[in-house]
Amino acid sequence: MKFIENIGELIIKLLSNLGKFILFILFFCKYLFKPKFFLRNNLNYFINIFISTLPIIALTGIFSGMVLALQSYTGFSRFSAESAIPNIVVITLTRELGPVLTGLMVSARVGSSIAAEIATMRVTEQIDALKTLNTNYYNYLVTPRVLSLTFALPIFVTIVDFIGVMGGYIVSVYKLGFNENLYLLNTIDFLSLGDYLSGIFKAFAFGFIISIVSCYCGLFSDKGAFGVGSATTNAVVISSILILSSNYFLTELFF
Amino acid sequence: MKIEVKNLKKKFSEEFILKDISLTIEKNKSTVILGQSGCGKSVLIKTIYKLFNYDSGSILYDGKSEVDTDKFSMLFQYGALFDSLKVSENIAFTDFINNKTKFEKKVISLMSDVGLDRSIYNKYPSEISGGMKKRAALARALYKNPKVIFLDEPTTGLDPINSDKINELILKVIKNRKMTAVTITHDIKSAIKTGDYYFFIDKGIIQDKGDCKKILKTKNKIFKSFIMGANLKS
Residues B68-85: what's their mean pLDDT? 90
pTM score, whole prediction: 0.86
pLDDT of residue A48: 84
Q: Report how far residue B7's alpha carbon sits from residue B20's, in angstroms, rounded to the nearest whole number.
A: 5
Q: Report how far residue A191's alpha carbon sits from residue B156's, in angstroms, rounded to the nearest whole number.
A: 64
Min Cα distance B218 → chain A (Å) is: 34
> What are the CA-CA distances from residue B69 to residues B148, B155, B182 (Å)?
9, 24, 15
Beta pairing, strands B30-34 & B180-185: parallel
In CATH, the number for domain B3-227 is 3.40.50.300
Q: Report how far residue B124's alpha carbon sits from residue B83's, in angstroms, rounded to the nearest whole number.
A: 7
Residues of A in contact with B83 (CB under 8 A): 126
pLDDT of residue A35: 62
Residues B65-79: what's their mean pLDDT? 90
User: C-alpha dihedral over B187, B188, B191, B197, to 10 degrees?
Assistant: 130
pLDDT of residue B233: 47
How buried is residue A29: exposed, middle or buried, by Cβ count under 10 Å (0-12/13-18/19+)? exposed
First and final C-alpha spacing in chain B: 37
Question: Which of the residues in chain A have pLDDT under 50?
Answer: none
Q: Which A-chain residues 132-161 have CB contacts (< 8 A) with chain B?
A: 132-135, 140
pLDDT of residue B158: 77
Min Cα distance B81 → chain A (Å) is: 7
Residues B69-81: what's their mean pLDDT? 90
Beta pairing, strands B15-25 & B180-185: unpaired
Residue of chain B with shortest Cα separation from A37: B98
pLDDT of residue B61: 93
Min Cα distance B108 → chain A (Å) is: 19
**Residue extents of the structural domains in chain A:** 39-253
pLDDT of residue A106: 96
When scoring A37, A124, A127, A132 by the number of chain B Cβ atoms within 10 A, the one with the most, hence best to mutate, is A132
Q: What is the pLDDT of residues B9-61, one digit of tens each?
A: 998 878 888 999 999 999 989 999 998 888 889 899 999 999 999 999 999 99
Min Cα distance A33 → chain B (Å) is: 17
Residues of A in contact with B74 (CB under 8 A): 128-129, 132
Instruction: Give the count of beta carbons closer than 10 Å to the beta carbon of residue B127.
Output: 11
User: To 5 degrees, how large is the angle CA B190–CA B191–CA B193?
Assistant: 65
Kindly determine whether residue A129 and residue B73, on different chains, have CB atoms separated by under 8 Å.
no
Q: How many helices (H) and strands (E) does chain A have?
A: 11, 0
Pick A129's closest partner by Cβ from B70, B80, B97: B80
Q: Which of A255, A163, A234, A244 is CA-nearest to residue A205?
A: A244
Residues B205-226: what's their mean pLDDT? 87
pLDDT of residue A88: 92
